[in-house]
């Protein structure tokens, strides 16, 4: 069995190859649009969501091919959300993964359309008839992804985030915002990975969902901690930006030490929710640790 580092590296390489194959070539018309889609999806990112899909799939013994496709769809949705989030009318950011953001490298219209087209491509992928011989289970994958993306998922979380700038919000409001903004897609990554398996024990799926919920929230708490403590070079994106733009964070609302303690509690909760699965849940445990203990 590989150690975690090797496993993570393997998934990152798998994702790069799979995404490169699935994204239309930059030589295919409309070339600028395809170029922008590839620019923003390939060559970077920690691929945390893909790792979560694969790790959850180990618990339900999901086939690797199916996990690759589903993980690629999730990574496309993530890439699209970053493109739109960075646009001038949203966070107005110029740096992402150490490179110019999509609208800076191309232009705003191309960035808008690249995000739109990536969302569509993700749904095209997971509706491919070759993905799963159980069509009903596959439809459930489409539904999980669509719910995670919508106004009561990621897009809704971004709307609440925008509305919270320069405003006093409470800790429950902050938590609700993050449950949608980053939590929904992370939770969907986990649940979709589990649903790639061929057995659907409701009790197992429920525990995996709880894991996904905890890890999704922990991810954001740690992001806030890092944004406050880290620097731009290490993060690959503009550090301290939340504070500068008067965005409420876990650190600004709880203080640094309480935020760190909260992240640890979420980690414990995530790990104990999958303890019954023993060895097949090893990657889920390692991944939760990785997400909470990372330094960028």
Q: What whole-number distance in Å separates Cα of residue 188 and Cα of residue 147?
A: 9
Tokens of 23: 């994204």
Q: Which of 158, 189, 220, 273 binds a copy of itself (CB under 8 A)?
A: 158
Cβ neighbours for 274, distance < 8 A, ≥ 6 positions apart: 59, 207, 208, 211, 281, 284, 285
54 burial class (0-12, 13-18, 19+ CB within 10 angstroms)?
buried
Q: Which residue, 199 or 257, has its beta carbon nearer to a copy of itself?
A: 199
Q: What whole-number distance in Å separates Cα of residue 52 and Cα of residue 192?
A: 9
Q: How many residues bind a copy of itself (CB under 8 A)?
A: 50
| Bridge partner list, 100 | 95
Q: For residues 56-75, which are near a copy of itself according to CB under 8 A?
A: none
Q: Which residue, 164 or 272, has its beta carbon nearer to a copy of itself?
A: 164
Tokens of 266: 């979420």
Q: Which residue, 108 or 206, has its beta carbon nearer to a copy of itself?
A: 108
> Which window, 46-54, 156-164, 192-200, 270-278, contacts a copy of itself (CB under 8 A)?
156-164
**How far apart are CB 148 and a copy of itself at their closest, in Å?**
8
Q: What is each CA distance from 107 to 36, 46, 102, 113, 203, in whole angstroms?
A: 9, 25, 7, 10, 48
**How far apart are CB 238 and a copy of itself at their closest, in Å?**
18
Site string for a copy of itself, 131-150 (x = CB under 8 A): ----xx-xxx-xx-xxx-xx
162 sits near a copy of itself (criterion: CB under 8 A): yes
Q: What whole-number distance in Å separates Cα of residue 281 and Cα of residue 210?
A: 14
102 sits near a copy of itself (criterion: CB under 8 A): no
Q: For residues 195-234, which are near a copy of itself according to CB under 8 A?
A: none
**How far apart are CB 268 and a copy of itself at their closest, in Å?**
30
Closest-CA residue to 53 (of 65, 39, 37): 65
Site string for a copy of itself, 105-134 (x = CB under 8 A): --xxxx-xx-xxx-xxx-xx--xxx-----
Cite the beta strand spans of the chain per DSSP E.
Answer: 95-96, 99-100
The binding site for a copy of itself (CB under 8 A) comprises 24, 29-30, 32-34, 37, 84, 87, 89-90, 107-110, 112-113, 115-117, 119-121, 123-124, 127-129, 135-136, 138-140, 142-143, 145-147, 149-153, 155-156, 158-160, 162-163
């Amino acid at each position: 069995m590989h150690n975690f580092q090797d496993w993570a590296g393997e998934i990152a390489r798998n994702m790069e190859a799979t995404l490169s194959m699935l994204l239309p070539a930059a030589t295919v018309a409309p070339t600028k649009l395809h170029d922008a889609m590839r620019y923003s999806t390939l060559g970077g990112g920690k691929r945390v969501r893909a790792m979560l899909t694969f790790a959850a799939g180990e618990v339900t013994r999901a086939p690797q091919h199916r996990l690759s496709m589903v993980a690629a769809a999730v990574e496309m949705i993530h890439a699209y959300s970053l493109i739109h989030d960075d646009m001038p009318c949203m966070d107005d950011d110029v740096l992402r993964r150490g490179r110019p953001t999509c609208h800076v490298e191309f232009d705003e219209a191309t960035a808008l359309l690249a995000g739109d087209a990536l969302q569509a491509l993700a749904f095209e992928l997971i509706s491919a008839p070759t993905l799963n011989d159980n069509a009903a289970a596959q439809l459930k994958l489409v539904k999980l992804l669509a719910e995670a993306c919508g106004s009561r998922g990621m897009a809704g979380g971004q709307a609440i985030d925008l509305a919270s700038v320069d405003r006093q919000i409470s800790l429950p409001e902050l938590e609700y915002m993050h449950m949608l903004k980053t939590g929904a897609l992370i939770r969907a990554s986990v649940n979709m990975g589990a649903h790639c398996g061929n057995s659907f024990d409701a009790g197992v799926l429920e525990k995996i969902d709880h894991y996904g919920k905890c890890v999704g929230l922990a991810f954001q708490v740690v992001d806030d901690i890092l944004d406050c403590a880290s620097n731009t070079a290490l993060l690959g994106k503009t550090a301290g930006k939340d504070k500068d733009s008067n965005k409420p964070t876990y650190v600004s609302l709880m203080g640094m030490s309480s935020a760190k303690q909260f992240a640890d509690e979420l980690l414990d909760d995530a790990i104990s929710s999958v303890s019954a699965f023993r060895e097949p849940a090893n990657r889920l445990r390692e991944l939760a640790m990785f997400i909470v203990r990372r330094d960028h």
